[in-house]
Structure 1
Amino acid sequence: MACYWPIFTQAQTTPNKTGYIDINYILTRLSEVKTAEAELSSLQQQYTKQLEAKAQVLKARQQEYVASERTLTEPMRRIAQQDILLLENTLQKFQEDAVAALQQKKTLLMRPVLTKIHQAVETVSRKEGFSMVLMQSENVLYGDSALDITLPVLATLGVALSNAEKQQYGQPRNNLYSWLGINEHLLPIRQ
């Protein structure tokens, strides 16, 4: 027991320092993210145009079928219905594939950015003595600003902020009001 006592007491006295970052703020400040968003937007527009073209073909085929339905024989009617069903399935499959392709492209573009952020967080954490760093979310009602390492992480990433931006970032944000959908600036001033 005497041999383990120093280890036990050291484990109890070693403070665990937990910090946090505002990942959304970091992401809005990185040029790589803006480039990735522009590329994704362009790709999404291409898929949207292709989807609209396929939808127009389907719509035209449906209108054509409705207009000529009375003059078609039963076998011709079944063939036209199968053709329309095939076009609907093709349209749905294209839409699902486009969503999956966009998600895959987003992952591909954001992986290096997130790796870079992780390395910066790790560097700052080791330097500042943090044993754990969390991402701030809308569910956090209060966080001590001394534990917020967002600005040092941005500095490590090479993002230069003006003094006004740093001061604005340091202003307290009340997530409770935003969670409730209330603009805190519209609340009455307490005296």
Structure 2
Amino acid sequence: MKKCILMLVACYCPIFCQAQTTSGKTGYIDIHYIFTRLAEVKTAEAELSSLQQQYSKQLEAKAHVLQAKQQEYVTAEKTLSESMRRIAQQDILLLENNLQKFQEDAVAALQQKKALLMKPVLVKIHQAVEAVSRTEGFSLVLMQAENVLYGEAALDITLPVLTVLGVTLSDADKQQYKQPRNNLYSWLGVNERLSPIKQ
């Protein structure tokens, strides 16, 4: 799910990279964190999960029909005439092709549904980013990526963006968000936080 959402975000990347002619600050947002806090994203994920389960059940049913047909053919193969064998093989091939097409159509339908559900969310985030950027004098706002090792905390506008989006965080949530995170450790699969360097 996260990869698909990131692909969608990449499609709308210009939304989050609004460069102006005047010089100003460059900020960033943690798009993953924003997604986890938006009710619309949770609703979209639930709807997509439900749809995916429906497709999975249909796919499983079609796969069972194919397996039964294959087993039936294996059992009766020696007793079938050449023409009957050809007909049975064509039936199996048709079922295999139908199964593959259904799977491809299901994947395409899920991607289309994801784009449909996520587009208004991305537009809403864009509007919030733009509002905070204008208020705080940012001329460029980037998405914090996993390969970014350091970002100055003062340039992180994730929490103000969430406020504009109408998301209320507890003081504990805000403090937890502000804790130093080390993407290098995450990349290595180590669950560890580094203490900030004291000046």
Q: Do the structures match in fold with TM over 0.5?
A: yes
Residue-by-residue CA offset, 1:24-47 (whole Å, 9 max, x unaligned)? 000000001111111001100100
Residue in 1 aligned with 2:87?
Answer: 79
1:22 alignment partner in structure 2: 30
Task: Report Cα offsets for 1:140-181 as digits up to 9, x if no partner.
Answer: 000000000000000000000000000100001000111112
Matched, 1:175 2:183: yes
Q: Does 1:49 align with 2:49?
A: no
In structure 1, the residue matched to 2:11 is: none
5 Å matches for 1:3-152?
15-152=23-160
Paired residues, number: 173
Q: Which segments of structure 1 move beyond 3 Å, counting only runs of 4 or more?
A: none
Residue 38 of structure 1 aligns to which amino acid in structure 2? A
- 2: CA distance, partners of 1:184 / 1:31: 29
Using the TM superposition, give the Cα deviation of residue 183 of structure 1 relative to its aligned residue in structure 2, in angstroms. Answer: 2.4
TM-score (structure 2 length as normaliser): 0.85
Q: CA deviation at 1:15?
A: 3.9
Distance 1:182 1:45 in 2: 32
Gaps of 5+ in 1: 1-13
Tell me how far apart the structure 2 counterparts of residues 132 and 82 of structure 1 sit (CA, whole Å).
59
RMSD of Structure 2 on Structure 1 (CA): 1.1
Which secondary structure state, in structure 2, belongs to the residue aligned with residue 131 of structure 1? Answer: strand
Q: Which amino acid aligns with 1:161?
A: L
- Counterpart amino acid of residue 142 in structure 2: L
